[in-house]
Amino acid sequence: MRTPLAGVAGALAAAALAACSIDVAPPVGGFACEADGTCRDGFACVDAICVAEPPSCVKAVAAGDGHSCAIRDDGTAWCWGRNDFGQLGDGTTLDRVEPVAVTAAGLPKLQAIAGGHDHTCALGGDGTVWCWGHNDAGQLGTSLSKTSDFHAPVQVTGLTGALTIAVDAEHSCAIRGDRVAVCWGSNGSGQLGNTSSDSQNVPTAVDGVSGVTVLAAGGDTTCAVDGNHALWCWGNNERGQLGDGGRISRGAAGKVAIPDVVGVAVGGAFTCALSSSASGGKVRCFGRHESGELGEILLDNDSPVPVPVAFSGTAKAISAGDDFACLTDEPGAVWCWGENGDRQLADGTDESRPFPALSSYRSAAVVAGGGGHSCALSSSGALRCAGYNGRGQLGDGHRTNQATPQRVDGVTDAVAVAAGESHSCATLRDGTALCWGGNDSGQLGDGSWTGRPQPAPVAIAGIQQLATGLDHACALIAGGGVACWGLDERSQLGTGTGKRFTRGYPLAVPGLTAVDQLAAGGETTCAVTGGAVQCWGAGDSGQLGNSANGDSDRPVAVQMLMPNVRAIGVGYHHACAVNAGGTVSCWGANGLGQLGNATTMGSSLPVPVSTLTGVDQVVAGGEFTCARTQAGAVSCWGLGFRGQIGIDDFGTFNTPQQVTTLSGITKLTAGGAHACAIKTGGALACWGASEFGQVGHADYDDHGTPAAVDGNPVVLDVAAGDAHTCAVLEGGGVACWGDGRRGQLGDGVVAETRPVAPVLPCK
C-alpha cells in the first residue's frame, strides 16, 4: 500500500520502527533513481525516486519453488507464498501474500534457512535442523513418518552439531560438525550419495568425500567442496550437471576437474562453481543450457564439462534458481543469466540472458534463487524479491494468480466476455467494450501500447460480438462488418494490404459484409456469412480450410463445407464448424486428434468428426475440441494430458468422448488447456489445466472432470483464455480468475518489473 505524499515523513518514521522494508511514496525533494532503476546503498527506488530504506532485521533469506523465507535478527523464521503442503511452517496450508511466522514447540533460534520445491529446512543456533512441508520422499528427515507432510517444523532425527544445510526439490542435506555431509529424502538418481537408490527418511552419510566445507543441492543433484577446495558432485546427470564429461547418473561422489573451488550452486539441471579470488574469482558452469543457464553466449547446447561464464570481473558469490543463476562481484553488484520470462533476473526485462546481465540488486550480501523468482539481501540489510508472484512469493501483499473468481472493478453492465492469452474484454449493453491486460501488440484496442490491469474503453462502438485470439481481437459491428486490432504477424487482422501491420486501434476488414458470427483462436480468425465460412490469418497447418498451407491477409472461403453453417470454433492450429444438420467438420492440425476423425493426419480441407450428431455449438482450444448437442450433452476430443477432455482420463483421443458428468449445458468455452460449461440456471463448471488456478476450484491442481467454480456464481457468459477465465455475472458484473501476470484478471495487479520489498515486520 502506498502512502499519499501528505504526511510521508511521519509514515516513514513510523515504518522504520516497525518494519524491515516499506513501499511508500517518495518524500518531496527526493533524488531520482539511476537510469537502470537503482539507487545508492541504503536507498530504494520507488516510482523513479530514491527513498531511504528503514532499518532491516533480516540476516538470512531463502527461495523455494513457489515460496520464500527469511530469518530475522531475533532468530525467528518468516515465510510467504505457496503453502499447499505446509511449506510456510505456520501450521496451515493457506498461501500467504505477506510473511507469516514459522512456529513449533521447541523450535530454537535459527541462523540459516533453505527452500526446496515444496518443503523448507532451517538450521538452529544449537546445531539442530528442522524441516517442514511436503514429505512424500522423506525429505523432512524425521522418524515420525516416512511420507506424511508436516505443516509446522519437526526436528530432523539424529542430527546434531550441524554447520550448514542444503535443500533440493525432494531431498535435503547438512554438513555435520565432523565435516561429513549427510542427506535424506528421495534417492532415485543417487542424490543422497550413499551408493544406493533407496530413499531415506533420516540422515545418511555421503560416501567418498570428507572435510566438506560447502554444500549445494538442486534438481536431484548434490555437490560439495572439501577442505582442499576440490569439487565433488553426485546424483542426476542426464544433462551433464555432474561435470564429468558424461551423462550417467551416479550414487557416489565424483571429482570435477575445476581447481581452487570455494563455492558451488546447483540449479534444476545445471551446476556452477566459483574459484577463489586468488584464482581470479571465475565462475564455470556445466549441464543444461536451453535457457542460457551456463552463461556462455557462444554455446548452443548443454555441456557435460565446465565452461567459463562470460564475465570478466571477479565474482565473490554465486547462487542458482531452477533455470537461472546469479553471481555477486567484488563491488557487490549482482549479475544474472538464464531464464527470465518472469523477470526473475531483476534486470527490468523479461528477456532470457545467455550471459550475465546487471540486475537491479545492489550491494548484495546474499542472493537466493527459486523456481521462477529470486530474493536478495543487501549489505545494508534491505530485502528485495523479483520474478514470478503467482502464489505471493514476493511477499509484497499481492499475487498475480487467483484460483477463485475475482470481481473486475468498473464493469456493471456486461453482456458477454472474451479472453486471449494475456488480455480480456467485456461487451456492454450499449454496444461498447472494455478491455484490460497485456497490450504490447495493441490488443486492448485503445490506440496505445500500454498494458492495463483495469478495464478501459475500446475505440469502437456498435459491437455485436467480440472474438479474441492470443494477441489480437475482432469485433462484429452493427451492419455486419468486422473490425480487428492487435498483433498482425500472421495476417490475423485481415488488412488485405499485403503487409503485416500490427495496430492498436480497430480497422475494418475489407470485403466482409453481412457477417453473422465471428470466432478467433491462436493467430487465425473466421467469420460466418450467409451460412458460408471465411477465414484469414495463420494457415500453416491448414487451419484456413482452403486446401492450402499458407497464411492469408484477406478472408478466403473454407471449401467443401456443407451449406448453412450454424456455428464455428477456432483453436490455436485448427478450426471446426457445425453444419445445418448438426454434424461437425474440422480442419487444420491433427497430430493430437483434435479434428476428431479417428486419425492423426492433418487436413487443409474440412473432414467430418466421427459419430457426432445433433450439435449446435463447437469450441476449439489449444489442441483439443469440445461440442455441445441441442440436448445439452458435451463431448470432447484431442489432447487431454491436463484433463481437458473431461472424462478423468489424461490421454489423447482422436474421436469424441462424451463427458458423462455434464448435462443441461447451455454454453461451452475452451482455453489453452482447460474448458468451462454453463449449466441451465447459470451454474458454471470447469476442468483441465489449473496451474494458474484457471479452472476456479480454489486450488492449483489439474482437474480431469468438471467441478463447480468456487463460490457457485450464477453466470450469463463465460470465456476461457490461454490460462485464465472470465465470466459475466448475474446483474452484469464480470469476474476473472487464473493467470493474471499481465493484468488480465482486471484486479489491478500485474507482474512487477522491478524487485519489491516483502512486508516483513521487525517486531
pLDDT over 70, % of the chain? 93
Residue 584, beta-bridge partner list:
578
- Among residues 734, 698, 737, 700, the alpha carbon closest in space to that of 716 is found at 734
Note the pLDDT tens digit of each residue in 251-278. Answer: 999 999 999 999 999 999 999 999 999 9
Taking the C-alpha atoms of residue 571 and residue 611, their distance in angstroms, rounded to an integer, is 21
CA atoms within 13 A on the CB side of 261: 29
What is the distance between the alpha carbons of residues 586 and 754, in angstroms, rounded to a whole number? 45
Q: Is the pLDDT of residue 436 over 50?
A: yes
Report pLDDT for 32: 78
Q: List Cα–Cα distances, 201 to 64, 86, 305, 721, in angstroms.
A: 20, 18, 32, 42
Q: What pLDDT does residue 38 have? A: 64
Which has more confidence, 26 or 404?
404
- Partners of 719 in the β-ladder: 726
Average pLDDT, integer, range 213-218:
98
Find out whether 481 and 508 touch, Cβ atoms under 8 Å.
Answer: yes
Angle at 453 between CA 452 and CA 456, to 5 degrees: 55
- The answer on pLDDT for 22 being more than 60 is no
Which is nearest to 362 in space by CA: 36, 80, 759? 36
Q: How far is CA 25 from the centre of its chain?
A: 29
pTM of the entire structure? 0.90
Tell how strand 653-658 and strand 401-407 pair up. unpaired
- Residue 643 to residue 659: CA distance in whole angstroms: 11
Please name the residues in contact with 653: beta carbons below 8 A apart, sequence gap of 6 or more.
593, 636, 637, 638, 640, 645
pLDDT level of residue 97 (50, 70, 90 thresholds): very high
The full set of domains in the chain, from first to last, is: 8-52 (no CATH), 57-207 (2.130.10.30), 402-739 (2.130.10.30)
What pLDDT score does 42 carry? 61
User: Helix, strand or coil for residue 709?
Assistant: coil
Q: What is the pLDDT of residue 45?
A: 61
Q: What is the reported pLDDT for 44?
A: 62
In the three-class reduction of DSSP (H, G, I as helix; E, B as strand; rest coil), residue 14 is classed as helix
Burial of 730 (0-12, 13-18, 19+ CB in 10 A): exposed
